[in-house]
């Protein structure tokens, strides 16, 4: 959950009920909306620092991360596109989708350094495989208990493995992202890809 959600009335009670259903709630530092975490989701985080003289907008940060993912998925013959999928979970202008269904959400956190530079954390959650129904039902139960009426539908998302013929989609996706990061000329950064296996 983004931290702004934790200040809403009813959050603590909803979080306790979710934990009792074996879906603990974790508050994160980046923005966006709630996202379920499960074993076949891949989390990619890029952390980098920019000098004060280097212009780099919020949109630049999103486009940079989105392009890395588009290039990586292109290695797997997947043509991901950028744009909000309005009826998908955590909708945003930089959603990544395949065939009109969301496969990844992106978020950022930025801090200004004392010398005027910026420290940036940009991350993405990719739906790589597995049955996404259970995680998203858990998220819906959590949100519906205290948040404004939910507009997203599970069917507006899909997994990468649904579009791949591989026996190990996670390994293929991690390999493609790692290769893309090694050949990326954008701002210097430290990158980490992590699975919840």
What is the β-pairing status of strands 41-50 and 190-195? antiparallel
Considering only CA atoms, which of 120, 111, 122 is closest in space to residue 49? 120
pLDDT in tens, 23-74: 999 998 877 889 999 999 999 999 888 888 888 889 999 999 999 999 999 9
Residue in this structure with the two tokens 């954390």, named with its chain if needed: 121
Q: What are phi and psi of 50, to 5 degrees?
A: -115, 140
Mean pLDDT of all residues in 160-184 = 95
How many Cα atoms are found within 13 Å in the side-chain-facing hemisphere of 44? 25
Residue 196 has pLDDT above 60, yes or no: no
Cβ-based burial of 183 (10 A; exposed 0-12, middle 13-18, buried ≥19): exposed
For residue 195, what are the β-bridge partners?
A: 42
Q: Is the pTM of this model over 0.85?
A: yes
Residue 178 has pLDDT above 50, yes or no: yes
């Amino acid at each position: 959950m983004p931290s702004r959600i934790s200040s809403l009335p009813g959050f603590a009670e909803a979080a306790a009920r979710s934990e009792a259903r074996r879906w603990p709630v974790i508050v994160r530092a980046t923005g966006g909306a709630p996202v379920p975490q499960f074993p076949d989701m891949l989390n990619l985080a890029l952390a980098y620092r920019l000098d004060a003289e280097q212009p780099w907008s919020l949109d630049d940060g999103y486009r940079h991360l989105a392009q890395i993912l588009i290039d990586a998925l292109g290695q797997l013959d997947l043509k991901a596109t950028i744009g909000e999928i309005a009826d998908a979970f955590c909708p945003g202008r930089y959603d990544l989708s395949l065939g009109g269904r969301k496969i990844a959400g992106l978020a950022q956190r930025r801090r200004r350094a004392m010398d005027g530079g910026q420290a940036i954390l940009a991350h993405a959650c990719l739906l790589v495989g597995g049955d996404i129904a259970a995680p998203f039902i858990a998220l819906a139960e959590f949100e519906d208990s205290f948040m404004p009426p939910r507009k997203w539908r599970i069917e507006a998302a899909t997994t990468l493995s649904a579009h791949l013929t591989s026996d190990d989609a996670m390994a293929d996706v991690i390999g493609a992202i790692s290769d893309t990061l090694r050949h990326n000329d954008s701002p210097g950064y430290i990158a980490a890809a992590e699975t919840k296996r």
